[in-house]
Every structure is written in structure tokens, then in C-alpha cells.
Structure 1
Amino acid sequence: MRFALNQMGFPAEGLESNAELLAEAGYDGIEPNLTADGPLWDDGAVDAFADLTDELGLDVPAVSTTLHWDRPLSSPDEETRAAGVEAGERMIAVADALDAGAILVVPAVVDEGTPYDEAYDRALDSVRELAAVGAEAGVTVCVENVWNDFLLSPLEFAEFVDEAAEAGPVGAYFDVGNVRRFGRPEQWIRILGDRIERIHVKDYRTDVDTIDAFTYPLEGDVDWDAVAGALGDIDYDGWVTAEVPPYRTAPERMPPRVRSDLAHLFS
């Protein structure tokens, strides 16, 4: 396994400072997020970041974003949906420049104005559109399971990935903690099998029924032995990226501690 930290947990300001901190903490990779006004929209900044990660011996497992909550790929509004596709296309370009090989997308948001069946069809079209672009760049479009009231079973998740992959490289970015709310991650892992291209990890407390249930690995109710066993069963030996926030106090202490826990769980 190779270990990385998502930008959600960066303890310092700026990609450069955090890259240096993660390299010092022994991480193999750093996972940046495309934000609305962040540096990843600037080609020069992306090139500089690529040079720095090479110098530090870090790789980029994927490029992620939260923009698809505001610009859903399933939106009934064509302009909003097009903005989401545009963000995905930029992520592919950045991933190509950083040799990341993958992007993370939230495929849909189901709400009062977006019925499930319509969200499915529009999300499928959008992900297929991105997959065709990704095919040209050698970048896999990875669909993540999140709290979006969509793809609520591993069987449906697998079917969606398979349907989208007809247009180009599409896989699953499987988030262990996100599933524990309504299922068992180890079961999802075995069903998704080799569709899984990347792994996000965080823990989840089943006695808390809000977003506050998320916590750091080893502090919740995920059966990590079962998760590691399931990953072994499908011969997964790729990226494991922590997606957790920095500590409120002494935030710089979180990355090395989580890195140590990842090695304990998966090495």
C-alpha cells in the first residue's frame, strides 16, 4: 500500500508548505483539491507544484474537489451541469500534469428538485462525457460514495461504474468511512472488487447520527481488520488516502500520527 493525505487535512497554508510537511512525515503522496478560486486553475502553479513533488519524492494519487456539490453533474439546470463537467475537465488536465492517473468526482446530488432516476441518467451522461476526455489523457474518472443519497448499495454502485466505463476509464473511489453509516465497508469492497481504483479512509462512530460521527482511523466503529482482509481478498495494493481534518490544536501533529496508524492498519 501507498499512503497519502487529502487536502482536507492540510495543517498549513499553501500546497508547497503542506507537501514539505507530508514528505517529512513519511507520506508517499499528497492529494490536492480543485477549489473555486484555488491555484490548480493556474497552469504555472500546477507546473511548479509538479516540480516540487518530484523534488520531495511525493506522488499525487488523484485530484479531488468539493465543487460537484455546488455544480452537480446531475443538476436539472443545464448551465449548472455544464459547470460541473468543466470542473471535471480541469481536474483531468491537472491530473495529467501531475501524473496522478485519477480524479475523484461526486456523480450526483439527489434532493427535492432532483429525483433519483433523473439524477442517475444525468450523472451517467456527465461521467461518460468526462470518461471520454479522461481516455485521451490516460486519467481514470473515479466515482466516490458520499452522503448524497445516491448509489446506496454496492450492487448499484458497481452497475453505475460498469455503465459509465463504456465511454472510457471509470472506477470507484471507495470511501471506507462514508459507507459505515448504512453498511459494512468490507462487504462493499468485495462486491466492487477490481472496480476500486483508490481508497479514502476515515472512521465513523455509529452512536452519533450526524456529520460529527466521522473521526480519525482507530477512533470509531469501522472493523479495520475486516476492511484490510477484504482489500487483501481483491488483491488491492494501491493508494490509501486519509481524508480527515487537521487537529484543532497543534494541527501539524495530525499527519504523522495518522500516517503511523495507516501503516499499522495496512502494512
Structure 2
Amino acid sequence: MKFALNQMGFPENSLHTNAELLADAGYDGIEPNLTVDGPLWDDEAVDELADRIDELELDVPAISTTLHWEQQLSSADKETRKAGIEAGKRMIEVADTLDAGAVLIVPAVVDEETPYDKAYDRALDSVQRLAVVGSKYEVTICIENVWNDFLLSPLEFAEFIDHASKSGPVGAYFDVGNVKRFGHPEQWIRILSERIKRIHVKDYRTDVDTIDAFTYPLEGDVDWIAVNEALTAIGYDGWVTAEVPPYRTAPERMLPRVCSDLNHLFS
């Protein structure tokens, strides 16, 4: 396994500074996010980041974003979907420059204004469009399971990926903690199997029924032994990226501690 940290947990504002901190803490990689006005929109900044990451002997597991919660790929509004697709295309370009090989996509958001069936059709079309672009760059479009009331079973998740893959490389960015709310991560892993291309980890407390239930690995109720056994059973030996916030006090202390826990769990 190789270990990385998502930008959610970065203690500093500068990607370069965070890359240095991650290298010092023993991580193998850094996972930056495409944000509304962040540096990943600037080609020169991305090239400079690529050089610094290379100097630090780090890799990039994927490019992620939170933009698709607003620029929804399942929106009934064509301009909103278009903006989401354009953001996805930029992520693919950045992934190509940083040799990431994958982008993290939230495919849909189901709510009162977006019925499930309509969300499915629009999301599938949007992901297929991105998959066509991804195939040109050899970048996989990785669908993450998130709290978006969409793809709520591993069987449906697998079917969606299989349909979308007809247009290009599409896989699962499986988030262990996100599933614990309504399922068993180890079961999802075995069903999704080779479709899993990347892994996000965080823990989840089942005695808390809010978003505050999320916590750091080893501090919740995820059965990490079962998760590791399931990953071994499907032959997964790729990236495991922590998606957790920095500590409120001494945020830099979180980096080496989580890295140590990831090594304990998966090495």
C-alpha cells in the first residue's frame, strides 16, 4: 500500500509547504483539491507544484474537488452541468501534469429538486463525457460514495461504473468511513472488487447520528481488520488516502500520527 493525505487535512495554506510536511511525516503522496479560485487552475502553478513534488519524492494519487456539490453533474440546469463537466476536465488536465492517474468525482446529488431517476441519467451522461476525455489522458474517472443519497448499494454502484466504463476508464474511489453510516465497508469492497481504483479512509462513530460521527482512523466503529482482509481478498495494493481534518490545536501533529496509524492498519 501507498499512503497519502487529502487536502482536507492540510495544516497550511501553501501546497508546497504541505507537500514538505507530508514528506517529512513519511507519506508517499499528496492529494490536492481543485477549488473555486485555487492554484490548480493556473498551468504555471501546477508545473511548479509538479517540480516540487518530484523533488520531495512524492506522488499524487488523485485530484479531488468539492465543486461538484454546487456544480452538480446531475443538475437539471444545463449550465450547471456544463460547469461541473468543465471542472472535471480541468481536474483531468491537472492529473495528467501531476501523473496522478485518477480524479475523484461526485456524480450526482439527489434532493427535492432532483429526482433519483433523473439524477441517474444525467450523472451517467456527465461521467461518460468525462470518461471520453479521461481516456485521452489515461486518467481514470473515480466515482466516490458520499452522502449524496445516490448509489446507495454496492450492487447499484457496480452497475453504474460498468455502464459508464463503456465510454472510457471509470472506477470507484471507495470511501470506507462514508459507507459505515448505512452498510458494511468490507461487503462493499468485496462486491466492487477490481472496480476499486483508490481508497479514502476515515472512521465513523455509530453512536453519533450527525456529520460529527466522522473521526480519525482507529477512533470509531469501522472494523479495520475486516476492511483490510477484504482489500487483501480482492488483491488491492494501491493508494490509501486519509480524508480527515487537521487537529484544531497543533494541526501539524495530525500528519505523522495518522500516517503511523495507516502503516499500522495496512502494512
Q: For residues 74-103 of structure 1, what are the alpha-carbon distances to aligned partners after superposition, in whole Å with 9 as ceiling and x for unaligned?
A: 000000000000000000000000000000
**In 1, Cα distance between equivalents of 2:106 and 2:195:** 16
Alpha-carbon offset, residue 193 of structure 1: 0.2
**In 2, Cα distance between equivalents of 1:13 and 1:40:** 13
Q: Which residue of 2 aligns with 1:246?
A: 246
Alpha-carbon offset, residue 13 of structure 1: 1.4
> What is the RMSD computed on CA atoms of the aligned residues?
0.2
1:71-86 superposed matches below 5 A: 71-86=71-86
Q: Which residue of 1 aligns with 2:70?
A: 70
**In 1, Cα distance between equivalents of 2:162 and 2:13:** 39
**In 2, Cα distance between equivalents of 1:136 and 1:13:** 32
Q: Which residue of 2 aligns with 1:232?
A: 232
Q: Which residue of 2 aligns with 1:114?
A: 114
Q: Which residue of 1 aligns with 2:192?
A: 192
Q: For residues 138-165 of structure 1, what are the alpha-carbon distances to aligned partners after superposition, in whole Å with 9 as ceiling and x for unaligned?
A: 0000000000000000000000000000
Alpha-carbon offset, residue 210 of structure 1: 0.4
Give the gaps of 5 or more residues in structure 1.
none
**In 1, Cα distance between equivalents of 2:203 and 2:249:** 20
SS of equivalent to 2:259: helix
Q: Which residue of 1 aligns with 2:56?
A: 56
Q: For residues 35-80 of structure 1, what are the alpha-carbon distances to aligned partners after superposition, in whole Å with 9 as ceiling and x for unaligned?
A: 0000000000000000000000000000000000000000000000
AA paired with 2:54? D
**In 2, Cα distance between equivalents of 1:197 and 1:144:** 10
Alpha-carbon offset, residue 131 of structure 1: 0.2
**In 2, Cα distance between equivalents of 1:83 and 1:110:** 18
**In 2, Cα distance between equivalents of 1:14 and 1:160:** 36
Alpha-carbon offset, residue 12 of structure 1: 1.0
1:24-103 superposed matches below 5 A: 24-103=24-103
1:131-170 superposed matches below 5 A: 131-170=131-170
**In 1, Cα distance between equivalents of 2:241 and 2:4:** 4
**In 2, Cα distance between equivalents of 1:85 and 1:12:** 29
**In 1, Cα distance between equivalents of 2:126 and 2:7:** 25
**In 1, Cα distance between equivalents of 2:224 and 2:11:** 25
**In 2, Cα distance between equivalents of 1:184 and 1:237:** 20
Q: Percent identity?
A: 79
SS of equivalent to 2:167: coil
**In 2, Cα distance between equivalents of 1:117 and 1:69:** 18
**In 2, Cα distance between equivalents of 1:250 and 1:89:** 36
TM-score, with length taken from structure 1: 1.00
Are 1:2 and 2:8 counterparts? Answer: no
1:184-223 superposed matches below 5 A: 184-223=184-223
Q: Which residue of 2 aligns with 1:128?
A: 128
Q: Which residue of 2 aligns with 1:255?
A: 255
Alpha-carbon offset, residue 190 of structure 1: 0.0
AA paired with 1:118? K
AA paired with 1:242? A
Q: For residues 194-246 of structure 1, what are the alpha-carbon distances to aligned partners after superposition, in whole Å with 9 as ceiling and x for unaligned?
A: 00000000000000000000000000000000000000000000000000000
**In 2, Cα distance between equivalents of 1:14 and 1:196:** 30
Alpha-carbon offset, residue 256 of structure 1: 0.3
**In 2, Cα distance between equivalents of 1:35 and 1:105:** 13
AA paired with 1:16? H
**In 2, Cα distance between equivalents of 1:214 and 1:255:** 17
**In 1, Cα distance between equivalents of 2:209 and 2:253:** 28
SS of equivalent to 1:108: coil
Count of residue pairs the alignment pairs up: 267
1:174-189 superposed matches below 5 A: 174-189=174-189
